[in-house]
Structure 1
Amino acid sequence: MKKLFLLLFAIGGLISCNNDDDNIEINEQNFLIFGHFYGECFGEGCVETFKLTDKKLYEDTLDDYSGQNLEFIALENDKFEDVKNLGDFFPNQLLNESETVFGCPDCADGGGLFIQYSENGNVKSWRIDQDKNNVPTYLHNFIDKVNEKIKMINN
């Protein structure tokens, strides 16, 4: 009886705590890849791409501007702690978009964001202009958070 009570209590806690439909679930199978890219740029920070799971943060070592070739290595746990809540800011509306490019990422040398989300093996990717005038309003907060998290990782 005690085990049943604990199970019901745990399920109730999960249901009541997860009432925000805008949050995506990040775990080993559902991960979020995020990064920025700048074409007219020199140095290590021009292309930065990271993969976030529920347990680890990884950094891409190839720095491929296209986002097509990715090889990840694990980062320190303190970096993971800095960014582990990024999924809380992911706009769920993005998953329903038929468009994969928003604005004109890096066309005016302003850079772009690369976002990829995998849910149970179903992978969706987007390239988003850094200029908020060129993208839907619902992306603005997420753009800010992605840039903030990349800055935190790199400090």
Structure 2
Amino acid sequence: MKASIVLVVLGTSGLFSCAKDNPEKALTLENSTVLFGSYYDECGGEQCIEIYKLDTVTQSLSEDTKDDYPTSASPYDGTYVARTTAEFDAVKDLVQQIPLTLLAKEGVVIGQPDAGDWGGYYLEVQNGEERRYWLIDTKKENLPAYLHSFTDVLRARLNQLQ
């Protein structure tokens, strides 16, 4: 029994060492910029689209002022203004909450974001030249289980910034 546990631990440690051998192929959360927010199409006012930029290198938070509706065609292109250090401190842990399973996920759309006017979440991770983004449903029943707790945290952090 103990021998099989050791083999499993040794075997899985090899899975994680690949990223160190080929860092340009691995998207990581360390020293990254994370864009996150929510959007609603059938909505009126400035609160309909809220996208933020969390930079772990400069330890800063900015808010997008363009408020364009995110699409699956390309990553979000915003214009950002700085937010306070206190607001950065309130959301800086969001980076550690992103499930690593998501980083390996193929495709951009997860669930049916904003399909029934219930909105969607936007998430993007930029690390060096690597840039991945996702449009995520706000309804848990449309999401894989690995995203449930993350979307709870994301919703809470967005509420803190309003």
User: Which segments of 5 or more consecutive residues in structure 2 lack a partner in the other structure?
Assistant: 1-27
2:91 to 83, 86, 97: 83
Matched, 1:103 2:107: no
Q: 1:64 aligns with which of 63, 68, 73?
A: 68
CA distance in 2, matches of 1:64, 1:148: 22
Identity %: 36
Count of residues paired in the alignment: 129
Letter paired with 1:53: D
Structure 1 residue runs of 5 or longer lacking an equivalent are 1-22
Corresponding position: 1:143 with 2:151: yes
Which residue is 1:46 aligned to?
A: 48
Match runs of 1:16-31 below 5 Å: 24-25=29-30, 27=31, 30-31=32-33
**AA paired with 2:43?**
C
**In structure 2, how many angstroms separate the alpha carbons of the residues matched to 1:66 and 1:89?**
22
What is the RMSD computed on CA atoms of the aligned residues?
1.3
Q: Deviations over 1:83-111 (max 9, x none)?
A: 01111110011110112101111001110
TM-score by length of 1: 0.79
For 1:45-84, what per-residue CA distance to the aligned partner results, in whole angstroms no more than 9, with x for missing partners? 1100001012100100000012633111110111101001
CA distance, structure 2, for counterparts of residue 145 and residue 24 of structure 1: 17
Q: Does 1:133 align with 2:141?
A: yes
The letter of the residue matching 2:102 is L
Output the amino acid matched with 1:85. Answer: D
- Distance in 2, matches of 1:87 and 1:127, equals 17
- Per the normalisation by structure 2, the TM-score is 0.76
